[in-house]
Structure 1
Amino acid sequence: MADHFEKANELAEALQASEEFTTLKQLHEDIESDEVAKKMLDNFRSVQMELQQKQMQGEQISEEEVQQAQKQFELVQQHEQIMKLMEEEQRMSQLVGEINKIITSPLEVLYGTEEQNG
């Protein structure tokens, strides 16, 4: 069992050493040190989180809330560093998703959750 955790830690270290992670970390640091960008991003994420929670709880989202979210998104879209960060976050998310797919593929085969051919 310890061997599995050792391999998982090796994978975490490899991910941390990756170009994607390094770029993401640098972009995070750039935005953290830029008060305006940090505030813009925090506001955007706050609105986003609020809407997601309402959706999960089955609450109705008002037209006003949708417009507010749209305005926040338009604001962050105008900030080059924030857009770079979001693109890099998306790339990292895809990378982690692909790794997860590889790791869990034996379970998918075992439980037959992979798409059936034929």
Structure 2
Amino acid sequence: MKRILALCLLQQCVTIPVTAQVAGVVVELDNGVVMFGEAYADPYGEGVFAFVGGRLECYGYYDSYSQSRTLTVSFSCNRGVEGLASVVRSRDLQRGSGNIAFSNGWSGTVSFGY
């Protein structure tokens, strides 16, 4: 029997195999707000990037098979907010940091795996 984990945000659930790689995510906005979440990379090529802060819950998908050091993830949030995160990953692809921008004008930095 295969064990799975369910990640539920914004009333949508994604099943994630227990063998998925998990890394913490920190989003620090220029206005001082800090959000926390996780990035999941499953062995089937689908990655999930999710974070929450205050009343905002956001998630996006990325290709977890990608070997590129630059990773761009578009994401959607509740309250009609969308955005784009662009990170440069470490050589082993397990950590990274970069910029994040939201459709409501917010911006800041994002890091994962630290």
Which one has the bigger helix percentage?
1
Structure showing greater relative contact order (alpha-carbon pairs closer than 8 Å, 6 or more residues apart)? 1
Tell me, yes or no, whether TM beats 0.5.
Answer: no
* TM-score tier after normalising by the smaller chain length: under 0.3
Indicate the structure (1 or 2) with the bigger Cα radius of gyration: 1
Which one has the bigger strand percentage?
2
Per the normalisation by structure 2, the TM-score is: 0.19
